[in-house]
Amino acid sequence: MDIHLIRHPRTIAPRGTCYGAADIAADPEILEADAARIAPILPENARFLSSPMTRAHTLAFRLAGRPVPTDPRLVEMDFGTWENRLWSDIPRTEIDAWAADTGGYTPPNGESVNTMATRVIGWWNSIEITDVPLIVITHGGPLRVIAAHILGAPAANSIALDISWGGRVTIRRDAQSTMLTGWNLR
């Protein structure tokens, strides 16, 4: 089965804003440009699935041309009280604590990378393998932890895997194996 994981377009949030579980819309012009660029390269007979967040679900609808089911396990990491704040306004001690324990540190009232990874990999392990390609529109965090999982790396190391807004990851998966076949494709 061919799987295409697509990161949502850049959002309307001011640059430097921390957001994860906050439901922020995609920039409309960038959304249209990403949809026009991505749509022609996707298989026609594919199944679609999306994070329920507006920035992902709007792109999913645009690409599928029809309503797309959502799964809350595909939502970005919840940054708790950091949500919608500028990264520069988050106390340095909290950022340093996260950097010291990237996987285990939980932002106040949020979730850790490891908690998000458990949720996302639970979804990944539940995928029904069929002959029909699967297109999933989600966020940078879930894309990174899926890639880390495939590569056998800890979720905490997933932060090192850069994925652009509107970037695409391709995976070949069957009952015997899973292979990451493309990263940050444009």
- What CATH number should be reported for the domain holding residue 102? 3.40.50.1240
| Structural domain span for residue 165 | 2-185
Q: What is the mean pLDDT of residues 20-27?
A: 97
DSSP state of 101: T
pLDDT at 91: 97
pLDDT at 135: 98
pLDDT at 99: 95
Q: What percent of the chain has pLDDT over 90?
A: 98
> φ, ψ for residue 95 (rounded to 5)?
-60, -45
pLDDT at 160: 92
Read off the pLDDT of residues 114-154 as tens digits, 9 standing for 90 and up: 999 999 999 999 999 999 999 999 999 999 999 999 999 99
Q: What is the mean pLDDT of residues 154-163?
A: 94
pLDDT at 96: 97
Number of domains in the chain: 1
pLDDT at 87: 97
Read off the pLDDT of residues 57-88 as tens digits, 9 standing for 90 and up: 999 999 999 999 999 999 999 999 999 999 99
| Angle separating helix axes 140-151 and 113-126, nearest 10 degrees | 70
Q: What percent of the chain has pLDDT over 70?
A: 100
- Average of per-residue pLDDT values in the chain: 97
pLDDT at 147: 97
**CA 115, CA 104: separation in Å to the nearest integer?**
8
Distances (CA, A) of 4 to 23, 35, 103, 104: 23, 14, 25, 28
pLDDT at 4: 98
> φ, ψ for residue 170 (rounded to 5)?
-115, 140
pLDDT at 114: 98
Cα-to-chain-centroid distance, residue 175: 24
Query: pLDDT-based confidence at 109, cuts 50/70/90?
Result: very high
pLDDT at 22: 97
Query: pLDDT-based confidence at 7, cuts 50/70/90?
Result: very high
